[in-house]
Amino acid sequence: MANFLSDRTALYGQQEMLRVDGVGRTYERLHHDARSLARGLEQFGLGPGSRVGILMDTSHQVIDTWFAASLLGCVETPFNTNYRGSLLHHLIRDSEVEVIVCDAAYVTEVRRLVGDSLGLIVHGDDSLGAPSLADLYLDPTGWTAPETDEGGVILYTSGTTGPSKGVVHNQRGCIRLGQYVAEVGGYGPDDRLLNFFPLYHQNARYSGVMAALAAGAAIDLESKFSSSGFWRLCRERGITVFNHLGSVLAMISSASGEPDAAKDRDHSVRLAYGAGASLRDREEWRDRYGVELLEVYGLTEAPMAAVNIPGSGCAPGSAGRESALFELRVVDERGRPVPAGSPGDIQVRPKTEDVFTRGYYNNDRATVAATTDLWFTTGDRGCLTADGDVFFAERAKDSLRRRGENISAWEVESVLVAHPHVSEAAVYGVEVDGETEVMAAILVEDDFADVVDIADVVRAVAADLPRYAVPRFVRRVDDMPRTPTMKVQKHELKSQGITPDTRDLTKEK
């Protein structure tokens, strides 16, 4: 990391590199502040191999802490700032951090969970009886980073179906990921990226900040996402690329109102990088806004396993083809490759050193269970065509079984969102009298919110579904519960069960 930052600064020193909520810094200032804080953290007692937790919202200081820890060769763990109680306690305990650099807003909860058993450095308030992060910025003149290969990061998976697992990556792999994102996206010094995701997430860190560094580009980090203010922000800042996940594209389009040829093309955005876009999203963003979508398939353990680069000839609607970083195959339940076009479990294997996870921290059993001959079982299902196009089907754990039949939640959702009045759908199982029944939560397009009957929507698409897969229960929602990266939290919907506003369609025939 030390050589990477020095190299970037030598090339682009006075160019603006980073803007957080409208406040900018140059490459040179970023490098200076990272070295300044690194020196202070070193005097605090941190060095190669030290384990540092980071519990901070998007700010310049969280970037400084990340880079300073990296310069020192620490193993840093960014914690999800939405976690409280047992969820946060699990991350702190499992990662074995020695010190937590923490925003003042989270100090009370950290102390409640761990007391005085860990070191604490506080950002934002000097009156909380802990060392202040601001006081650790020291003059970096003459300071040199230690020569070490011990540095790395532990990124925790979302843990929506069980305890979060710590995914270990080394610094070289994180840098290589940023370089590869910049390479396939064609990023350069004239680009300005936009990212709304939190900095404990791989998207913002390595597909955002690290990719901008690799390209000599600038990046704007915004702590809050506004679909209604998206295009205004892009025009004001001169954004050329933005990152998305899940339903973000649909949310922006919905907030944009009716198509307006002049207004829809009044921006400098050329590319959207992300995952989870539908074929309808891709066509709309190309035809309406003039923006191409660079779609990727990957996971925390194996980022960018497949890429769908605009103009590359990948099949429409696919997640693309295996990337330069990973091999990809689809296998049956015994781990045997299936014929082209047949469904199965997606596995990936690294083509190059470092980009693949080093394993799950403190969880050798999970590491061994997920890999065979370096083939990593992703937990996703899909198919691989003869041309090498990957079609994602579903999370293996996101399926349900009703009366002996396996039902793909993704397939049912795809049929529902194909209805012109449906913006988004989430399908999951609910227990009724000991049996699993299919339930759907449906988000209706704003323009039709007052006129659409969701029961009529289900009836309209029922012909495109196996009878056993047609939702029996349906409810209309104003929004879905989401993670900070905009993924729908189905476990939360499922925990709500059959709500008072749920309709049983078997009683409405």
Could you read off the pLDDT tens digit of each residue along the chain, which spans 509 residues? 999 999 999 999 999 999 998 899 999 999 999 999 999 999 999 999 999 999 999 999 999 999 999 999 999 999 988 887 877 898 999 999 999 999 999 999 999 999 999 999 999 998 899 999 999 999 999 999 999 888 899 999 854 444 678 999 999 999 999 999 999 999 999 999 999 999 998 999 999 999 999 999 999 999 999 999 999 999 999 999 999 987 789 889 989 989 998 899 999 999 999 988 888 889 999 999 999 999 999 989 999 999 999 988 998 889 999 999 999 999 998 999 999 999 999 999 999 888 999 999 999 988 888 888 889 999 888 999 999 999 987 666 666 767 646 677 877 888 898 888 888 899 988 888 767 888 888 888 777 777 788 889 898 888 777 777 889 999 988 888 888 778 888 888 988 999 999 999 988 86
Output the CA–CA distances (angstroms, integers) from residue 164 to 62, 80, 127, 207, 216, in the order listed.
22, 11, 33, 22, 34
What angle separates helix 2-12 from helix 27-44, to the nearest 10 degrees? 150
Interatomic CA distance for residues 33 and 355, integer angstroms: 27
491 in a structural domain: yes
Sign of CA dihedral 169, 184, 205, 315: negative
Q: Which of 330, 461, 37 is nearest to 440 (CA)?
A: 461
Is residue 38 within 8 Å of 143, Cβ to Cβ?
yes
Mark which of 156, 178, 210 sits at the end of a domain.
156
Count the domains in the chain: 3
Structural domain harbouring 471: 403-507
Strand order in the sheet with 292-297: 23-26, 16-20, 218-221, 192-195, 241-245, 271-275, 292-297, 306-308, 321-322
- pTM summary value: 0.81
288 in a structural domain: yes
Domain holding 479: CATH number? 3.30.300.30
Interatomic CA distance for residues 81 and 92, integer angstroms: 12
369 in a structural domain: no
Interatomic CA distance for residues 105 and 223, integer angstroms: 15
DSSP reduced 3-state for 344? strand
Helices of type H across 418-500? 454-461, 490-496
Mark which of 260, 281, 297 sits at the end of a domain.
297
DSSP reduced 3-state for 377? strand
Residues 150 and 209 in one domain: no
Strand residues in 418-480 grouped as ranges (E): 422-432, 435-444, 473-476
